[in-house]
Amino acid sequence: MLRYALKRLLSLILSLAVASVVIFAVIEIAPGDPASFMLGVNAQADTLAALRAELGLDVSKVERYFNWVGGMLVGDFGTSYTYRTPVSQMITDRLWVSLPLALYALTLSTLIAFPAGIYAAARRGKPGDLAVMGATQLGIAVPNFWFAMMLVLIFAINLRWFNAGGFAGWENGFWTGLHSLTLPAIALALPQAAILARVMRSALLDILAEDFMRTARAKGLSRRQALWRHGVRNALIPVLTIIGLQFSFLLAGSIIIEQVFYLPGLGRLVFQAISARDLIVVESVVMLLVFAVIMVNFLVDLAYAAVDPRLRSRT
Partner 1 sequence: MSRNLILGAALSSLVLLAALVSFVWTPYDHAALNIPAKLQPPNTQHWFGTDHFGRDMFSMIMVGARTSIAVALVAVGIGMALGVPLGLTAAARKGSWLDEVIMRGNDLVFAFPSLVIAILITAVFGAGAINAIIAIGIFNIPVFARITRGAALSLWEREFILAARVSGKGAARISAEHILPNVANLLIVQGTIQFSLGILAEAGLSYVGLGAQPPTPSWGRMLADAQTMVSFAPHLALIPGLAIIVTVLGLNLLGDGLRDWLDPRIRVARA
Partner 2 sequence: MSLLEIKDLSLTIHGTQILKRINLSLAPGKIVAVTGESGSGKSMTALAVMQLLPNGADAEGLLQLDGQNLLNQSEAEMCALRGAAIGMVFQEPMTALNPVKTIGDQVMETILIHRAVPPAQARARAEEVLARVGLPTDRFPMTRFPHELSGGQRQRVVIAMAIALRPRLLIADEPTTALDVTTQAQILDLLKGLVTEYGMGLLMITHDLAVVAGMADQIVVMRHGEVVETGATEHLLRHMQHPYTRMLFEASGHQVNLPVAPEPRPLLEVENVVRDYRLPRKRLFDAPGHHLAVDQVSFTLNRGERLGLVGESGCGKSTLTRAILGLEEVQQGRISLDGQPVFTGHKPNLAVRRKMQVVFQDPYGSFNPRHRVARLITEPFHLLETPPTGSERQDRIAELLTAVGLSPDDSSRYIHEFSGGQRQRIAIARALIIQPELILFDEAVSALDVSVRAQILDLLVELCETYDLTYLFISHDLSVVRTITDRVLVMQAGKIVEQGETEQVFTQPQHPSTRTLIDAAPSLPEIGQGAA
Query: Do the Cβ atoms of 253 and 189 come closer than 8 Å?
Result: no
Q: Shortest CA distance to 294 belongs to which of 244, 238, 236?
A: 244
Residues 185-204 that bind partner 1 (CB under 8 A): none
Position 38 contacts partner 1 (CB under 8 A):
no
Residue 79 three-state SS: strand
- Binding site partner of 182, from partner 1, partner 2, none, Cβ cut-off 5-8 A by kind: none
Q: How far apart are CA 208 and CA 53, in angstroms?
A: 65
Position 256 contacts partner 1 (CB under 8 A):
yes
Q: Report, in Å, the least distance between residue 103 CB and partner 2.
A: 27
State whether the Cα torsion 47-53-59-62 is positive or negative: negative
Q: How far apart are CA 285 and CA 274, in angstroms?
A: 11
Structural Rg of the chain based on CA atoms: 24
Q: How far apart are CA 84 and CA 189, in angstroms?
A: 36
Q: Report, in Å, the least distance between residue 245 CB and partner 1.
A: 7
* Residue in 140, 205, 237, 300 binding partner 1, rule: CB under 8 A: 140
Q: Report, in Å, the least distance between residue 270 CB and partner 1.
A: 6
Q: How far apart are CA 30 and CA 15, in angstroms?
A: 23
Residues 258-277 that bind partner 1 (CB under 8 A): 259-260, 267, 270-271, 273-274, 277
Residues 150-169 that bind partner 1 (CB under 8 A): 150, 152-153, 157
Alpha helices in 74-143 (DSSP H): 87-122, 127-141
Residue 264 three-state SS: coil
Q: Which amino acid is at 25?
A: A
Q: How far apart are CA 315 and CA 53, in angstroms?
A: 50
Q: Report, in Å, the least distance between residue 70 CB and partner 1.
A: 21
Q: Which residues here bind partner 2, judged by CB under 8 A?
A: 2-3, 6, 210-212, 214-223, 225, 229-230, 233-234, 307-310, 313-315
* Contact range with partner 1 by CB under 8 A, out of 14-22, 33-41, 78-86, 93-101: 14-22
Position 286 contacts partner 1 (CB under 8 A):
yes
Q: Which amino acid is at 239?
A: V
Q: How far apart are CA 139 and CA 192, in angstroms?
A: 8
* Residue in 10, 130, 138, 306 binding partner 1, rule: CB under 8 A: 138
Q: How far apart are CA 9 and CA 26, in angstroms?
A: 26
Count of residues in contact with partner 1, rule CB under 8 A: 49
Position 9 contacts partner 1 (CB under 8 A):
no
Position 10 contacts partner 1 (CB under 8 A):
no
Q: Which is nearer to partner 1, 39 or 279 (CB)?
A: 279
Would you give the DSSP letter of residue 228? I
Q: Which residues bind partner 1 (CB under 8 A)?
A: 11, 14-15, 18-19, 22-23, 26-27, 29-30, 137-138, 140-146, 149-150, 152-153, 157, 245, 248-249, 251-253, 255-256, 259-260, 267, 270-271, 273-274, 277, 279, 282, 286, 289-290, 293-294, 297
